[in-house]
Structure 1
Amino acid sequence: MAEHHTGPAETGAPMDYREHEKTYNMFLAGAKYGTVLIGVLLIAMAAGFFGHAGLLGGFIIFAILSVVGIVLVR
């Protein structure tokens, strides 16, 4: 069951700050790279659907921009 602590919540259970920092950094990396990949996907879809790139051209644009975006975000 849950532990019952007396006093304010700030002094309750000990925090694992290293694990907290690791989780926070993983969240930031996921948000950063996810944003880049969604933006690249939208650009590639626009080139494939509305431009004259077609399916293969859209895929090539997606692959190239994904690599460039991930390298730039690091």
Structure 2
Amino acid sequence: MDDHHTGPAELGAPMDYAAHEQTYAFFLAAAKWGSLFIIVLLIAMAAGFYGGLGLIGGLVLFVILNAAGLFLLR
């Protein structure tokens, strides 16, 4: 922070592109798996509360759908 560059920002410190790529890959994976989890949770809650499956049926459906999603999205 204490070095002062007089040129444009594009000519400042060199970028660590490997770290950028790693962060971007982590963000994409987190978004994919997080979306899967939330969608499956909502489906299982709807089936448990409104579909008549109850708590155990909703939990079983949640586990099955998560396993299917993990298999399909790998």
TM-score in terms of structure 1 length: 0.93
Tell me how far apart the structure 2 counterparts of residues 46 and 40 of structure 1 sit (CA, whole Å).
10
Tell me how far apart the structure 1 counterparts of residues 56 and 2 of structure 2 sit (CA, whole Å).
55
Residue aligning to 2:62:
62
Provide closer, same or farther for how the CA distance between residues 63 and 2 of structure 1 changes in structure 2, counting only shifts above 3 A.
farther
Aligned residues: 74
> Sequence identity of aligned pairs in percent?
62
Larger RCO, structure (CA 8 Å, separation 6 or more): 1
TM-score in terms of structure 2 length: 0.93
Provide closer, same or farther for how the CA distance between residues 71 and 2 of structure 1 changes in structure 2, counting only shifts above 3 A.
farther
Question: Which blocks of at least 5 consecutive residues in structure 2 are unaligned?
Answer: none
Mapping of 1:30-45 within 5 angstroms? Answer: 30-45=30-45
Question: Which blocks of at least 5 consecutive residues in structure 1 are unaligned?
Answer: none
> What is the RMSD of the two structures over their aligned residues, measured on CA atoms?
1.0
